[in-house]
Structure formats: structure tokens, C-alpha cells
């Protein structure tokens, strides 16, 4: 379980970095040409949504990292037990599963509140890319 949690943490972190790079590219997009319908403000809005999505993914990475820490603490407790029955009894004695402990829930609340305050919102789903339509379409004779 700790390895799966650490894998999820890595995936969230890498994806967040990728979305941050995409947001920077959308933010610097040159709209000075006359062949696009979208103005700079719409590209900036899309970049802002991507920044919100990247921040949300970074918060999910942090939450996953804390869950990984809790899972490792559990694993250290049950790794040397002789059978699955002993492991099951050990886990039943724990008051909460690793992902519902106070540290994980507090990290989730704090990190998501911080992302909302810094980026202006949370964006769990990737925003769809605006469609760029050419104004100077050729008219067939």
C-alpha cells in the first residue's frame, strides 16, 4: 500500500508540473494577429483555469504524500506479523484507516483552502481548451 500511495504522489506531482508548464505557455500566447477570434483575455482565462488545476493537483500530491506517510507507519507495524489473520487483527485495532486520519484530513483541508486562496479556485477536472477559429476564412468561389 505505501508503494501505491507513493506512486500516486509522484503522478500527481508530475502532472501538476506539466499543467503548470501548459498554463505558462497559454499565458504568453501572442494574440496580436488578426486571424484569431479569441482575445488575450480569453487565453489568460484559460491559463488561469490551468493554474487552478495545477494547484489542485499539487494539493492532491501533498495529501497523497501524507497518506503515504501514514501507510508506511502502518506497514512498519504489521510487516513482521506471521499471518494475514494477525495483520487483520492488528488493523482492526487501529481506530481509523490510514487515509482517514487527522493528519491526512487536516492536510487536505489546509492545502485545498490555500490553493483556493492563492489561485482563486479549485479545478479538479482539466479545463477544455478553447477552440481557435480563423476570422480570415477563404471563401470558395
| CB-count exposure of residue 55 (10 Å: 0-12, 13-18, 19+) | buried
3-state secondary structure of 134: strand
Question: How confident is the model at residue 52, as a pLDDT?
Answer: 93
Q: In 3D, which of 73, 75, 59, 66 has the Cα closest to residue 103?
A: 66
Question: How confident is the model at residue 26, as a pLDDT?
Answer: 86
Residue 134's DSSP bridge partners are 36
Whether 45 has a pLDDT exceeding 90, the answer reads no
CA 96 to CA 75: how far, in whole Å? 14
Whether 38 has a pLDDT exceeding 80, the answer reads no
Position 50 confidence tier, pLDDT thresholds 50, 70, 90 = very high
CA 21 to CA 15: how far, in whole Å? 10
CA 63 to CA 137: how far, in whole Å? 48
- pLDDT tens track for 101-122: 999 999 999 999 999 999 888 8
Question: How confident is the model at residue 43, as a pLDDT?
Answer: 81
Q: Are 52 and 122 spatial neighbours (Cβ–Cβ below 8 Å)?
A: yes
Instruction: Provide, rounded to the nearest whole percent, the portion of the chain with pLDDT above 70.
Output: 83
Whether 59 has a pLDDT exceeding 90, the answer reads yes
φ, ψ of residue 27 in degrees (nearest 5): -70, -30
Threshold 0.85, pTM exceeds: no
Amino acid at each position: 500500500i505505501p508503494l501505491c500511495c507513493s506512486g500516486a504522489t509522484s503522478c500527481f506531482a508530475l502532472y501538476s508540473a506539466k499543467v503548470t508548464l501548459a498554463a505558462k505557455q497559454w499565458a504568453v500566447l501572442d494574440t496580436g494577429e488578426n486571424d484569431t477570434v479569441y482575445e488575450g483575455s480569453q487565453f489568460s482565462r484559460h491559463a488561469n483555469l490551468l493554474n487552478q488545476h495545477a494547484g489542485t493537483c499539487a494539493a492532491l500530491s501533498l495529501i497523497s504524500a501524507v497518506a503515504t506517510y501514514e501507510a508506511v507507519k502502518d506497514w512498519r507495524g504489521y510487516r513482521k506479523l506471521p499471518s494475514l489473520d494477525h495483520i487483520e487483527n492488528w488493523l482492526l485495532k487501529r481506530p481509523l484507516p490510514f487515509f482517514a486520519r487527522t493528519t491526512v484530513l487536516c492536510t487536505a483541508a489546509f492545502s485545498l483552502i490555500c490553493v483556493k486562496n492563492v489561485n482563486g479556485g479549485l479545478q479538479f477536472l482539466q479545463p477544455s481548451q478553447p477552440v481557435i477559429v480563423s476570422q480570415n476564412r477563404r471563401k470558395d468561389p
